Amino acid sequence: MNQLANLKGLNLDQYEQARGRAIERVKARIGDRPTRKQFQRELGSLWTVLDGLALIVFVAALAVSSAHIITHMGTLATNSYEDSTRAGIILSIGDYTVIHQIAMIMLAEASHVAVYGHARNECPRPRRPVEVAGSRCHCHWCWR
C-alpha cells in the first residue's frame, strides 16, 4: 500500500496522453460503433388483401357456427332443464340455456384453435436435421 502512496501523479499532458491511448486501445478492441441504419428493418404493410379476405371468411364461419350452436344448444338445454331441482345454485331456464350456448361456442372455438395450432406445429420434415440450409425449424418437435 505504501508503494501506491509513493507514486508520483501525472501532469496534465501525461494524463491526456494516457487517456488518448486508452481510448484508442478500447476502440481498436471493440471495433466501430454500429449505426442506426444497421438496425433498421424493412417494414411491410400490416394488412394485405388476403388478410382482409381471411377475416371476412373467419367472421362468416364464426357467425354460421355460432348460430348453429345457439340453436342446437338452446334445444338441448331446454329439454334437459329440470325445474324441480332446488339444491345448490338455482338457475332459471333462461340463464341455464344461455350458459350452455355461450360455453359451447367457447369450447368449439377453443378446440378449433387447439387442433389447428397442433397441426401447424408439426414438423413437416421430422426425420431430417434441425439445421437445413442455415435456417432452423421452429416447430415444437425440434425444440424439445
Cα-trace Rg, the chain: 34
pLDDT in tens, 69-88: 999 999 999 999 888 777 88
Q: Facing residues of 136 across strands?
A: 131
pLDDT in tens, 34-64: 777 777 666 667 778 888 898 899 899 889 9
pTM: 0.47
Q: Which grid cell sits at 31?
A: 471495433
